[in-house]
Amino acid sequence: MLIRSNWTLTVDEPTVLPRTYGLELVKYLHQRMGLEMANEIISSVTFSGILGFYSASGNFITFHPNEFYQLSLCGLQKKAAKAISTLELAADLEFLGTKFNLINREDEVTSYEELYTTLVRNEPEASKRFDLQFITPTAFAQGETKLPLPVPALIFRSWLERWNHFAPVYLGGDELIAYLSNAVILKNHKIQTRSFQLQRGFVNGFVGDVTLQVFTRADPLLANVANLLVQYAWFAGTGMKTRLGMGQIIVK
C-alpha cells in the first residue's frame, strides 16, 4: 500500500516559526500516528514540511494570512500508510505555540502492484521524457559530503533503493542503475542551491526544474521501469532526509 495525504492550511494572523520547525512538526505527527522515527534503515514516511509563500528573517520564517499552504505525508509500506490514512487531525494544527487551520485533505492511494502492472507489466508505450520539479532542497550523501546536483544515476539509485526495500517486486540492482545511467540523460535544468536548516547545521540542496530524456534506442521495458521509478518518486521523495522535508518532487 502507498498513500500520499495532502492537507491545505491557512493562518489567521502572521505566524512565526524557527527555520528548524520541521523536526518538531514531524515528531509531533509521528507521535499522533503511533510511529517510531528511529530504527529504520530507509524511512517509510516522507514529509514535505509546510509549503507555500513565507517571509524569512534570520533564523525565523513567517507564514501569512490570505495564503494557502500545503503539508504532505506519504507512507511507503503498509504500517506507515495505514497510520497516515487513519490520522485524524482537528480543525487546526497546533505546535510550538502556533496554530494552522486545516481546511482540506486529499488522499492519493495506490499499491506497488498496481503501479508495476500499469506502468511495466501491461507494456504501455514507453515514456521518453520526464519533466520534474524539485520543490524542496534535494541532495545525495556521498560519504562525508553532500552533493546538491541532479545526477541521473544518483536520482534513480535513490528511487530504486526505496522501491526494492519496500515493494514485493524486485526491479534490479547495480546493473539496472548502470543501464539507466547510459540510457537516460540530463537534458536540461534550471536549478539553484538552497540550504535546508537542521537542528545542528544545514544541508545545501538544489531546487528547480529538471528534464530527463530517454535515448530512443533504449529498451522499451527498461524505459518503462524508468518511468515507474519516476512516478514512484511522487510518494518516495528523492535523496537524503526525506522524512524531514527534503527531496520533495512534482512530476509534471
Section 110-136 average pLDDT: 97
pLDDT of 90 strictly over 90: no
pLDDT of 200 strictly over 90: no
Section 175-183 average pLDDT: 96
| CA distances (Å), origin 137, targets 24, 34, 126, 237 | 19, 28, 29, 11
pLDDT per residue over 143-175, tens digit each?
Answer: 889 999 999 999 999 999 999 999 999 999 999
Pairing of strands 184-197, 145-147: unpaired
Residue with cell 522501491: 163
Section 218-236 average pLDDT: 97
- What's residue 39's pLDDT? 82
pLDDT of 73 strictly over 90: yes
**Which domains, and CATH codes, for the chain?**
2-110 (3.30.70.1890), 125-251 (3.30.70.1900)
Q: How far is Cα 25 from Cα 104, in angstroms, rounded to an integer?
A: 18
- To the nearest whole percent, how much of the chain has pLDDT over 90? 93
- To the nearest whole percent, how much of the chain has pLDDT over 70? 100
| SS3 assignment for the chain | CEEEEEEEEECCCCEEEECCHHHHHHHHHHHHHCCCCCCCCCCCEEEEEEECCEEEECCEEEECCCCCEEEEEEECCHHHHHHHHCCCCCCEEEECCEEEEEEEEEEEEECHHHHHHHHHHCCCCCCCEEEEEEEEEECEEECCEEECCCCHHHHHHHHHHHHHHHCCCCCCCHHHHHHHHHHEEEEEEEEEEEEEECCCCEEEEEEEEEEEEECCCCCHHHHHHHHHHHHHHHHHCCCCCCCCCCCCEEEC
pLDDT of 37 strictly over 90: no
Handedness of CA 215, 216, 217, 222 (dihedral sign): positive
Section 167-196 average pLDDT: 97
The cell for 21 is 520547525
pLDDT per residue over 228-238, tens digit each?
Answer: 999 999 999 99
- What's residue 91's pLDDT? 85
